[in-house]
């Protein structure tokens, strides 16, 4: 194992090789997996080398970020960056985040306590460029050099020694997309620095001022959602076809007839799913329908554009796009006259709508008028009500729980899901660490959907590595592939990450691991359900 320690000033230099290339020997071991038998790291392709600035770590997250062709373009990139940075420092433009930004820029004591909380840093073999402080130190040195009197006057004597050019900005953009924004680092900081939020501020600057954002998050994410209705490209017409298919498929498999109520005025609950569930895991929205109907809940879904897809990718990169989505979703709920808007099993959208929405939604859209909620406490309410009889023996197989960062660490919804599992899954056990200290799946902040170039390799090998090790340790006494095991991941993006992670490491064949949501386990345990809802061959 070799720890690379590139100087901060290298971020702006012409280089012949990456600042910190990842090598297999650097990576931590995973329980039950021989590193020598892993799929090896593919070297950076000639296409990437000839097309992109690949000199950070040999991987590219921003597949639409091409080097400038002229000196004028280079100067314009720098000008826009400095202009955007100035706006971040302006109380009128950034009143919601300025205190966090300034605290991080002015008061970090470089103790590196946060580094040992970072799953990316640890999984990489503790490579310097993945420390939570590394990208922020570069930002801090730019701040000192261009925005403080002492930096302008004394330069490198006060640490204002990072030159700002297009290479600096492009590599900083890549660095900002080596952070899952999970904010585990913020829990550990003794002086209250939130390096996760600071990484997001870098992304906001780049997206709103320079249009620099992963294509999957902005162009094919938020903007596609606002144009078509869903980030998946699912149109209202296609949605109806999907719903009909799910209704028919559910009846065929379970004998239960469900009917998705669409645009039901005055319903108690408007349920907002991640549209990815309809496309990839339709058993999840079907399970919601079975559960809500059995509990006697008055509910509806919407077929209005944006109203049937709860995702909000602006949470990760762009305040303007985030606000547009939140406003549209809240307006749909108001027009339907519902009392509560419940977000399905999706972490980032729950935080975006229920927490960030408080800064956007006022008046008759405020939470005092229409409640905005996660589905997880509702699941426990349903169980406690006694409206449905459950048989825990139907879930008598090993289960562990993954905690989505945005719901658990960032919102504090810790116990409802655990109470449900304790009641319906006799073999469930915690991962370690767990709850608000759990590790990110490695797909947070957009990584789950970023499939361009060689970034999926980095995600599977580095950012998701700690999660797989956690999962396998939770089942360390039952790794035998003859024993089916279930990872409960109540988040669509987390499921997408785990799906790709399990495929990369062949976990189905090696360990008989599968994954799904909490609602599927609840339906599987229903006494009135005559057939198993969880069928291992399909998961």
The DSSP symbol for 227 reads: H
Angstrom distance (rounded) from CA 380 to CA 228: 35
Q: Which residues contact 153 (CB under 8 A, 6 or more apart)?
A: none
Sign of CA dihedral 526, 527, 532, 536: positive
Q: What is the dihedral of CA 166, 92, 359, 96, to 10 degrees?
A: 60
The pLDDT, as a whole number, for residue 284 is: 98
The pLDDT, as a whole number, for residue 158 is: 86
The pLDDT, as a whole number, for residue 159 is: 84
The pLDDT, as a whole number, for residue 1 is: 60
The pLDDT, as a whole number, for residue 96 is: 84
The DSSP symbol for 343 reads: E
Angstrom distance (rounded) from CA 499 to CA 467: 12
The pLDDT, as a whole number, for residue 90 is: 95
- Order across the sheet with 428-429: list the strands: 428-429, 399-401, 485-488, 513-516
pTM score:
0.96
SS in 3 state form for 356-387?
HHHHCCCHHHCCCCCEEEEHHHHHHHHHHHCC
Q: CB of 178 within 8 A of CB of 129?
A: yes
Q: Which of 266, 229, 527, 530 is nearest to 393 (CA)?
A: 527
The pLDDT, as a whole number, for residue 536 is: 81
The pLDDT, as a whole number, for residue 411 is: 97
Cα–Cα–Cα angle for 447, 450, 451, nearest 5°? 130
Residue stretches of the chain with pLDDT short of 50: none
Identify the three-state secondary structure at position 320: helix
356 Cα distance to chain centroid: 15
Angstrom distance (rounded) from CA 67 to CA 116: 34
Angstrom distance (rounded) from CA 228 to CA 260: 21
* Helical packing angle, 98-107 and 132-147, nearest 10°: 90
The pLDDT, as a whole number, for residue 538 is: 61
Domain boundaries, the chain: 8-211, 224-525
Sign of CA dihedral 431, 432, 438, 441: negative
């Amino acid at each position: 194992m070799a720890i690379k320690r590139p100087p901060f000033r290298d971020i702006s230099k012409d280089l012949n090789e990456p600042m910190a290339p990842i090598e297999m020997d650097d990576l931590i071991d995973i329980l039950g997996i021989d590193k020598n038998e892993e799929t090896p790291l593919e070297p950076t392709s000639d296409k990437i080398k000839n097309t992109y600035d690949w000199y950070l770590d040999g991987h590219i997250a921003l597949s639409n970020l091409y080097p400038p062709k002229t000196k004028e373009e280079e100067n314009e990139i720098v000008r826009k960056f400095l202009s955007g940075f100035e706006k971040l420092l302006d109380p009128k433009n950034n009143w919601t985040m300025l205190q966090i930004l300034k605290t991080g820029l002015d008061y970090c004591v470089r103790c590196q306590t946060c580094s040992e909380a970072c799953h990316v840093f640890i999984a990489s073999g503790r490579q310097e460029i993945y420390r939570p402080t590394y990208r922020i130190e570069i930002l801090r040195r730019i701040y000192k050099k261009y925005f403080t009197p002492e930096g302008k006057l004394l330069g490198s004597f006060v640490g204002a020694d990072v030159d700002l050019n297009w290479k600096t900005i492009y590599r900083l953009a890549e660095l900002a997309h080596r952070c899952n924004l999970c904010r585990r680092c913020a829990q550990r900081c003794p002086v209250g620095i939130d390096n996760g939020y600071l990484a997001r501020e870098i992304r906001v600057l780049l997206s709103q001022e320079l249009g620099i954002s992963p294509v999957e998050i902005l162009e094919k994410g938020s903007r596609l959602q606002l144009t078509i209705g869903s980030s998946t490209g699912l149109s209202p017409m296609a949605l109806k076809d999907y719903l009909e298919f799910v209704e028919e498929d559910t009846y065929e498999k379970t004998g239960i007839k469900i009917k998705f109520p669409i645009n039901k005025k005055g319903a108690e609950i408007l349920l907002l799913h991640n549209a990815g569930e309809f496309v990839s895991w339709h058993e999840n929205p079907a399970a919601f329908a079975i559960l809500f109907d059995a509990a006697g809940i008055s509910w509806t879904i919407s077929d209005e554009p944006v109203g049937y897809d709860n995702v909000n990718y602006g949470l990760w990169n762009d305040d303007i796009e985030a606000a547009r989505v939140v406003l549209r979703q809240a307006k749909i709920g108001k027009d339907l006259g519902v009392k509560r808007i419940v977000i399905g099993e999706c972490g980032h959208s729950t935080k975006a709508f229920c927490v960030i929405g408080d800064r956007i939604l006022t008046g008759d859209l405020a939470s005092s008028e229409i409640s905005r909620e996660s589905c997880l406490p509702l699941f426990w309410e349903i169980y406690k009500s006694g409206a449905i009889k459950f048989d825990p023996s139907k879930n008598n197989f090993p289960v562990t729980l993954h905690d989505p960062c945005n719901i658990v660490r960032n919102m504090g919804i810790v116990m409802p899901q655990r109470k449900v599992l304790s009641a319906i899954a006799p073999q469930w056990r915690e991962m370690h660490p767990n709850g608000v200290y759990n590790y990110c799946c490695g797909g947070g902040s957009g990584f789950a959907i970023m499939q361009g170039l060689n970034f999926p390799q980095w995600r599977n090998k580095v950012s998701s590595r700690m999660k797989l090790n956690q999962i396998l340790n939770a089942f360390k006494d039952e790794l035998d592939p003859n024993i089916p095991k279930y990872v409960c991941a109540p988040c669509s993006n987390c499921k997408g990450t785990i799906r790709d992670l399990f495929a990369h490491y062949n976990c189905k064949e090696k360990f008989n691991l599968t994954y799904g949501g909490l609602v599927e386990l609840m339906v599987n345990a229903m006494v009135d359900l005559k057939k198993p809802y969880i069928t291992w061959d399909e998961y």
